[in-house]
Amino acid sequence: MSDLDIVNESVNHLALIAEMNYKFTKTRDIKKVLQKGLELVAAHLDAEAASVFLQNDDKSELICRACTGPIDIEGLSIPANEKSIIGEAVLKKTSKLVRDVTKDSDFDVNVDKKTGFVTRSILCAPLQFENDCIGAIEVINKRAGNGLFNEQDKKLLEALGSSAALAIKNARMAKELIGKEVMRKELELAAEIQRGLLPENLPDDFPVHGINVPAKTVSGDFFDTGELKDGRIWFNLGDVSGKGMNAALLMAKTSSLFRCLAKTIHSPGKLLAIINDELCETNSLGMFVTMVGGFFDPATGKVRFANAGHEPPLYFNSESKTFIDFPADAPPLGIVKDIVGSEGYPEEEINLNGDSFYVFTDGLTEAKTNKKELGDKGVRKLISNISELPANEQPKALLDILNSTKTKLNDDVTFLVVNHHKKLLSMQIPAKAENLKKIRTKIKKAVEKCCSCEKTIHDIVLAVDEACQNIIRHAYKEYRKGNDIIIEVSQNGDNIIVHITDFAPAVEPDKIVPRDFNDIQAGGLGTSFIREIMDKAEFIKPPKNAGNLFEMVKKVKK
């Protein structure tokens, strides 16, 4: 070949490589890529036949994935050893040019005998990219010239082999990623569904608070709570067997059923029975739900609940520091229809009396600290450590302790607390300055029940005094019969909460401006005192027939 011819041929080869690369990047379909590419290569090298062999999953065989030429060998598989030219090319990662088979002792003429094809010249290059060989491409019998392939052809096939290997690799990776992505998106969706069902934005002083910590993306646990029109609170906590999307959907169904039924059915035993029957009717995958569901009346402190096969909930008496547990007397929901009859699941009732009721999943009992399971003892210890806190702080405190002791969670952990605020004082009195002393005396008595710090007691008394003064002076302006103040003091954990209700026209909160300390004008210091003393002091939504409700909260030490 003259130099010019060589250059021309090289240019043509580069053009082919460029075109192949372009075609490869355009399509993600591996089969199409191979077939098209092979046809182009065969055409360019003017080969009578060509084939591409790719490794199978365990790399033990090489299978023909595309071919051109008179004989269709697609699907043919040969062992991945050096006995064949293709096998040798893959294993040794080098290309082989058998210019003239009649001169090569390794060549096996038996295949030709079977197919009737006469092989004269073979060129084989590995499909490899960055030392990763996934197969080989073979071209047979050059049509032009003397029918024999040359070194130029070999170089071209090597370059094309590289290109093809990269394209196949990319196509495979893309497929895998898409598969992973689809699965990931499904789990994410399930997690979103589940999260959406957990109660949101419960006010701090709501009696029920909980937390859900999934072990993986999707949790099979859930809890829920809400307020009925009459002020009672319903709550539930459940554990669905199984994981993943199926568990999440069953959880969603159970949670929604409870929430809907709780509005009209106030017997927890009957409620769970209805859910059980409903789940049995439509449950097809043999899954079930363990659950504790009940109602709490903040006015009386009573909790009425039923337990369907769930980890026993606990009542903690903060005075005697003892626990009462309530093991389930009935199996989980969704297994057998009508299992408890018309009376429903057995119910229990306890009076919290200012204390708390705890429900949690076995993910908590089975959590491991230093390879040792928490167990009942560990869980009770945890609870007694956090029980002094206000209900809204307890779930997070529990989590903090678990994290700080490097406790390993193998399963979802869900935890719920029902807390009865102890009422320390409730009084109604005419809004007259002469009554302030009486108010101070009663407040002092109430706060002394749960706080021994003299300074704090005096501060709270002062704050209440000032708040009442504001009502007497500004809200009512002029005393008339019926202008009363209602004062309620309650305890939530280590928080003392004071509610002062009046029946004057509603005040606009931004009109209440605390005076600057430097502004020592007569009168008006009261609001500054309140804000300095109390942790929280603000107007909140008053009850229906009232005018204003002022809330003050202060954390106290026992």
Partner 1 sequence: MTVEIKDKNGTAIAVLSGDIDLSNSPEVRDSLVKAIAESKNVIADMSKVEYIDSSCVASFVVAFQEAKKKNSRFSLAAVNPKAMRVLQLARLDKVFTIHNSVDDGIE
Regarding 475 and contact with partner 1 (CB under 8 A), the answer is: no
**Which contacts (CB < 8 Å, 24+ apart) does range 197-202 have?**
197/222, 197/224, 197/251, 197/252, 197/255, 197/256, 198/222, 198/223, 198/224, 199/223, 199/224, 199/225, 199/226, 202/392
Spatial separation of the C-alpha atoms in residues 132 and 152, rounded to whole Å: 24
529 binds partner 1 (CB under 8 A): yes
Stretch that binds partner 1, among 159-167, 264-272, 360-368, 459-467 (CB under 8 A): 459-467
Binding segment for partner 1 (CB under 8 A), chosen from 187-195, 348-356, 393-401, 515-523, is 515-523
Q: How many whole angstroms from its chain centre is CA 273?
A: 29
517 binds partner 1 (CB under 8 A): yes
Q: How far is the CB of 405 from partner 1 (least distance, A)?
A: 41
Helices (H), 266-387: 268-282, 362-365, 375-386
| Contact call for residue 525 and partner 1 (CB under 8 A) | yes
- Residue 460 main-chain phi, psi, to 5 deg: -65, -40
CB of 472 to partner 1, least distance (A): 7
Q: Does 471 bind partner 1 (CB under 8 A)?
A: no
Does 429 sit near partner 1 (CB under 8 A)? no
- Report the side by side order of strands in the sheet with 77-79: 77-79, 61-68, 47-55, 132-142, 122-129, 96-98
- Position 478 contacts partner 1 (CB under 8 A): no
CB 68 within 8 Å of CB 78 = no
Q: Edge-to-edge strands of the sheet including 347-351?
A: 221-227, 233-240, 289-297, 302-308, 347-351
Closest CB to partner 1 among residues 25, 469? 469
Contacts with partner 1, 232-271, as mask; x by CB under 8 A: ----------------------------------------
Contact between 513 and partner 1 per CB under 8 A: no
Reduced to 3 states (helix: H, G, I; strand: E, B; else coil), residue 414 is: strand
Rounded to the nearest 5°, which phi and psi values hold at 39? -65, -40
Q: Determine the interface stretch with partner 1 among 213-221, 356-364, 412-420, 431-439 (rule: CB under 8 A).
A: 431-439
Stretch that binds partner 1, among 50-58, 217-225, 454-462, 548-556 (CB under 8 A): 454-462
> Considering the rule CB under 8 A, would residue 474 count as an interface residue with partner 1?
no
Candidates 288-296, 360-368, 464-472, 481-489; binding stretch for partner 1 (CB under 8 A) = 464-472
Is residue 528 within the footprint of partner 1 (CB under 8 A)? Answer: yes
**Can residue 522 be called a binding residue for partner 1 (CB under 8 A)?**
yes
Element (H, E) at 15: helix 3-26
526 counts as binding partner 1 under rule CB under 8 A: yes
| By CB under 8 A, residue 462 contacts partner 1 | yes
Residue 528 · residue 467 · CB < 8 Å: no
Interface with partner 1 (CB under 8 A), residue total: 28
Which stretch, 22-30, 128-136, 146-154, 528-536, contacts partner 1 (CB under 8 A)?
528-536
Q: Which is nearer to partner 1, 144 or 522 (CB)?
A: 522
Contacting range for partner 1; rule: CB under 8 A; set: 49-57, 376-384, 408-416, 465-473: 465-473
Residue 440 within binding range of partner 1, rule CB under 8 A: yes
- The number of CA neighbours under 13 Å toward the Cβ of 161 is 35
Which C-beta is closer to partner 1: that of 347 or that of 465? 465
Of the candidates 172, 169, 165, the residue with the CA atom closest to the CA atom of residue 20 = 165
Q: Which C-beta is closer to partner 1: that of 405 or that of 528?
A: 528
Three-class secondary structure assignment of 161-190 = HHHHHHHHHHHHHHHHHHHHHHHHHHHHHH
Closer to partner 1 by Cβ: residue 309 or 526: 526
User: Rounded CA gap, 77 and 62, in Å?
Assistant: 5
Q: Is 458 in the site for partner 1 (CB under 8 A)?
A: yes
Q: CB of 225 within 8 A of CB of 210?
A: yes
CA distances from 269 to 236, 239, 431, 451 (A): 12, 18, 47, 40
Residues binding partner 1 (CB under 8 A)? 432-434, 436-437, 440, 455, 458-459, 462, 465-466, 469, 472-473, 517-518, 520-526, 528-529, 532-533
